Structure 1
Amino acid sequence: MKHFLRVLAQFCVFLYCKFLWRTFKFVVRKVTGRCELQRICYNNKPGARRTLKIESSLKFSKSELLQSAVNVHPDLVEKTIDSIMALKKINPDTNPQLGISLQASLLQIVGYRNLVVEVEKLRREPYDCENLEHEEMLLKLWKTLRPESPLSGRISKQWCEIGFQGNDPKTDFRGMGLLGLYNLLYFAEHDKATALQVLHDSLQPKHRTISRGETSNISKIEWEKKKFDKAIGYSFAIVGINITDLAYSLLVSGALKTHLYNVAPEMPSLVHFQQTFCYLMQEFHRFWIEEDPCDIMEFNRVRNRFHKKVLKQLKNPDMALCPHFAASDLHLVNL
């Protein structure tokens, strides 16, 4: 009986989606004189709130033209908008803002898709020690993070000073390929002060400051032990590659659409993704100090909690990484 009711409920949902919803949209258009795309553009401010709704409307449309619009080449976006306006019988002269709004949102949609392809290509490209460009990037990373310490050789224990696992960093890039190196170098070059501070703190960790109100929950013995225990640090470069993996998963899952549609007026680019990485690195560092783990074996637990926290924040369509500050000042704001 339960199985029958479940099937019946699913069938009813199917009927609603297939017929009643389209009937409802037809009635609303007759009453308002506007199609769904017009209502979305006129009733929602620019950014993720508008673009996500336009993307959903196009994908689930019964028109092949509208369905294919989310996959067009960026150079064909303007022509596609003209075709959509003609299909919907909308006069561009009396609705000039509609075409502009649709074009901006469609550029964001196809730009996000292209960004996923670009990031995936970098992730799949392995680090090649025979490639001069790869080697130059790696050495530049060392010089940026350790300007006062010349590298004794390409293969050296010194690499552990910036958080690689062994004498040759190339083995650590296996999971994320060149994408991990690109992100680490971007962080070191474009937000050098923060990168150096995070590196320093990872090597010389400290407990987070406990407020007076929190001390009531800690016994005197625990408090004394906490004071003299050494806080747990982490390997800067390895964590950077791990956070690259986190940023990558947010991108391919679509969770980053909220952020990128809010910060990129048109097409999201690799720079937007790298700025997101800078933010995640800084915020993870703060989160690690807040969590104050007992040992490095707790890394996966802390990372998973941080991941869930970011996902929760990005569910708000008005949330974005603030684009008006340097990477070191990035923070989530409610637009």
Structure 2
Amino acid sequence: MSPKILRRRLHHGDIDGKVQEHLDTSENLDASSEPLLEDPDYNKKGIQKLDNSKVKASTLEDIWNDERKKEQLHWTFLYSQLITQWAHTLANNAVGSRSLISRLLSHSPNTPNRQSNRMLPPSLSPLQEERLRHVQERLQVSFDGSRTEHQDALKQLWKLAFPDRGLPPLKSELWKEMGWQGEDPSTDFRGGGYISLENLIFFAQTFPDSFQRLLHKKDGTRADWEYPFAVAGINVSFMLVQMLDLNAGIPSSSAGIRFLEMLEEDEMTFDNLYCIAFQMMDAQWLAKHASYMHFNDVLKSTRTQLERELALEDITTVKDMPAYNLLR
């Protein structure tokens, strides 16, 4: 199999979101959704063989006690749901987002759902709402190679990546040197959208040393088959959107809720997280001695590590994350 075939097979899958679908379905499952081990006391028809000598007859008192316990649990659940709804109604109707009830709700411990690792969406301040809306509006913009501003952004990225080289045409084999799949970079944005290009530009402008080291693969002992830089960057953007639950109205994943808290402190939290994630992905790549076909596994490990760091206490900004020290 030729290297060209390998390259296209890997990255078309990644950009279409299949990697992230795999991550979402594997990391959000708990033990209750895994297949049960086969019981040796089951016959071929799936009927359990019971030892009648070990079966105890239930008395009327046992049955009554069981029914009472079920009823108590049922009403306890309904009552807790009613209290939760009542509290949220008061919080939503209160004047000002920083009312007492809103504060209590935003700081009270959330209990994740065992099936989906979801939490109750937090109450947002006006500043959080505005900044979240801005990020989500950016996510709705697809890359359009016919738009002048999108073409200009691609040219800007080239100048940041190769400041000492001339600007190639928008369709040129030279774009492959940045890690695009073909001569036309616009065909690689299907899964990431325009925001993934904005992320790459922000990375190059904010952390130019780290950007150049990753672009030119300057750190560590590298594999013969390396990941293409630009296409990997699009995958990192897509992974972050999924992890932070940004396609929801209000994120309710644990990482998404922490993101909302950080967003109030820094409106560029998503872009800064992107830089950390890209640098972290490269560090994972080197630690695993990975090569081209291991990119999916490395991206999955990167997501797991990011979620762990976001779950740490006393993390209020991106700069508080341990992985921030990887950036130069």
TM-score normalised by length of structure 2: 0.61
Q: Please, which runs of 5 or more residues in structure 2 have no aligned partner?
A: 1-57, 59-64, 108-121, 246-250
Residue 328 of structure 1 deviates from its aligned partner by 6.5
Is 2:315 aligned against 1:314? no
2:92 partner letter: S
Mapped to 2, the partners of 1:186 and 1:111 lie a distance apart of 22
Structure with the higher helix share, 1 or 2: 1
1:315 partner letter: A
Asked if the contact 2:143/2:186 (under 8 Å) is kept, the reply is yes
Distance change in 2, residues 1:68/1:329 (3 Å): same
Query: Which residue in 1 is equivalent to 2:205?
Result: 189
Query: Which residue in 2 is equivalent to 1:257?
Result: 257
Mapped to 1, the partners of 2:229 and 2:166 lie a distance apart of 19
Mapped to 2, the partners of 1:65 and 1:110 lie a distance apart of 17
Query: Which residue in 1 is equivalent to 2:36?
Result: none
Mapped to 2, the partners of 1:8 and 1:173 lie a distance apart of 58
Is 2:301 aligned against 1:241? no
Mapped to 2, the partners of 1:119 and 1:7 lie a distance apart of 50
Provide, for residues 5-41 of structure 1, a one-character-per-residue CA deviation record: whole Å limited to 9, x for no partner. Answer: 999877654433443798xxxxxxxxxxxxxxxxxxx
Residue 307 of structure 1 deviates from its aligned partner by 1.4
What SS class does the counterpart of residue 323 from structure 1 fall into?
helix
Query: Which residue in 1 is equivalent to 2:136?
Result: 120
Query: Which residue in 2 is equivalent to 1:166?
Result: 182
Query: Which residue in 1 is equivalent to 2:149?
Result: 133
Query: Which residue in 2 is equivalent to 1:149?
Result: 165
TM-score normalised by length of structure 1: 0.60
Q: Please, which runs of 5 or more residues in structure 1 have no aligned partner?
A: 23-56, 70-76, 89-97, 209-229
Is 2:221 aligned against 1:207? yes
Asked if the contact 2:318/2:324 (under 8 Å) is kept, the reply is no
Residue 109 of structure 1 deviates from its aligned partner by 5.1
1:62 partner letter: W
Is 2:257 aligned against 1:300? no
Matches within 5 A, 1:270-309: 271-293=268-290, 295-309=291-305
Asked if the contact 1:206/1:231 (under 8 Å) is kept, the reply is no
Asked if the contact 1:260/1:272 (under 8 Å) is kept, the reply is no
Residue 250 of structure 1 deviates from its aligned partner by 2.1
Q: CA RMSD in A?
A: 3.8
Asked if the contact 1:258/1:314 (under 8 Å) is kept, the reply is yes
Mapped to 2, the partners of 1:111 and 1:151 lie a distance apart of 40
Query: Which residue in 1 is equivalent to 2:325?
Result: 329
What SS class does the counterpart of residue 62 from structure 1 fall into?
helix
1:207 partner letter: T
What SS class does the counterpart of residue 165 from structure 2 fall into?
coil
Residue 278 of structure 1 deviates from its aligned partner by 0.7
1:177 partner letter: G
